[in-house]
A and B are shown apart, each in its own frame.
Chain A
Amino acid sequence: MIEITVSKNILQTFYFENTLYFRPQINNGNVFSTPMSTQSTTHQASTSVWGGGKSPFNISWGKMYMWFFLVSDAFTFSSLLVAYGTLRHKYSASWPNANDVFTHFPFIHAHVPLAYVGLMTFILIMSSVTMVLAVDAGHKRDNKSVALWLGLTIIGGFMFVGSQAWEWYHFIKGTDQGAYILADHSVARVKEGAENILILNGKEISGAAAEQIKATGEFFQGANLVKNEYGNPLFGDFFFFITGFHGFHVFSGVIINLIIWFNVLDGIYRKRGHYEQIEKTGLYWHFVDLVWVFVFTFFYLV
């Protein structure tokens, strides 16, 4: 018991002294002078923005680092999407139309293009709203509301990751009718409900020509990294890589949110006196939503 008290005191002394030395606004930014009194712990406005003694951007270093990380992460996603755009532009003739690929909706057998991805977008926007409400509750130091909104955000995140898994499953599994891949890697899709009619480069082929393709081409259903039944195999590569990279971000975000949520339930931020950790995690979570807005546009809408 004594040992614990002693070590705690040492920690406090060390900590307090450090806080004095790490606060360069003391004595008008002169770090090397001795602290005059404990009064100097109060915040003082420096005369010059870049003169030291305060954050030049008026923002905590933790939030600033998160912003700079997100800028670098945005550059990674931008590069991936620009690469996708360039190759899609180059192979526009054989590029599949996303509205033909992602037509499934749970418990509905009809073709409903964009509906499921629209729902996924709604789930992610909604989880962004609950996250920003958690940040708002943190500003008001309302621990219970932070726990509630952050909990809902985690549920939304899990729903989104689950939806993405479902989407991948249907893309990998493919359609019932499948397609024939020719020697020059072009794809002749079997028309739905009409086994004898093939669709090659937007044109319908039937009769002897169709039989010829069926005899020489390779029958294939679904998609992997080397080929897919919808058209150019690069479509599958980019789809798996970009939505996978984004999904990994969402999954990481859910795990981070979960850890923060346990901290909130533990009252760690209530004891600390501020909820900046929620803001930093919130920045990451909104960024994930932001990336999805772009993925949604360039993979599904365009």
Chain B
Amino acid sequence: MSHNDSHNEHHEHGYYTGDIHNQFVPEHVDPKGKAIIWRTFWILLIVTIFEVGIAFTSIPKQVLLYIFIALTIVKAYFIVYFFMHLKAEWKSFQYTIILPFILIVYLIFIALIEGNYLTKVMTGN
């Protein structure tokens, strides 16, 4: 059995990477793939238009800030989960990718505290 035969045998379920590791990669093709892509596109477009639309309304700046951050995370979710197909990966891998960003939340937290302290020191209060 040559290398090529083994690859053809598994054509429907996955493929061998064909490099020195020649790892078998299971592949599950979503028949609704195209519909999901266009649905994601419309969501991203409508959210972006909505953001630009409310930027010029009389909503207070502080409220707008939180709305924008929330909508940005919504857009990031759709890009990562549907365009980058993270949703199709195993849960263990999803957590491996997502959980390290808790450190960024912590970074924002300490940067705000340091920033406030720095302002007080430099203005002499």
Residue positions of A touching B, CB distance < 8 A: 12, 15-16, 18-19, 22-23, 38, 41-43, 49, 54-62, 64, 67, 71, 74-75, 78-79, 82-83, 85-87, 89-90, 99, 114, 118, 121-122, 125-126, 128-129, 131-133, 135-136, 139-140, 272-274, 276, 279, 282-283, 286-287, 289-290, 293-294, 296-297, 301-302
Contacts and interface: CB of A to CB of B under 8 A. Distances in A.
B106 to A, nearest CB: 10
Contacts of A296: 48
Contacts of A64: 93
B59 interface: no
B33 A125 contact: no
Given A59-B89, A286-B79, A19 B3 contact: yes
A57 B92 contact: yes
12 contacts: A22-B20, A23-B22, A42-B10, A58-B89, A61-B23, A90-B118, A125-B41, A125-B48, A274-B25, A293-B79, A297-B72, A301-B55
Contact of B52 (A42, A114, A136, A294): A114
Given A139-B29, A276-B17, A283 B84 contact: yes
A289 B79 contact: yes
A296 B69 CA distance: 11
B79 A22 contact: no
Contact of A273 (B7, B92, B96, B97): B7
Interface in B1-46: 1, 3, 6-11, 13-27, 29, 33-34, 37-38, 40-41, 44-45
A300 to B, nearest CB: 8
B72 A294 contact: yes
Interface residues of B, number: 69
B29 A140 contact: yes
A290 B10 CA distance: 34
Interface string B75-107: 110011001110001101100110011011001
Contacts of B97: 67, 71
Contacts of B33: 136, 139
Contacts of B40: 129
A89 B83 contact: no
Contacts of B83: 128-129, 131-132, 282, 286, 289
A294 B20 contact: no
Contacts of A61: 17, 21, 23
A290 B18 contact: no
B15 A273 contact: yes
Contacts of A62: 17, 19
Nearest to B8: A273
Contacts of B11: 273
Given A15-B20, A59-B89, A75-B103, 14 more contacts: A15-B3, A42-B10, A54-B24, A57-B92, A57-B93, A58-B89, A114-B55, A118-B49, A129-B37, A131-B83, A133-B37, A286-B79, A301-B64, A301-B68
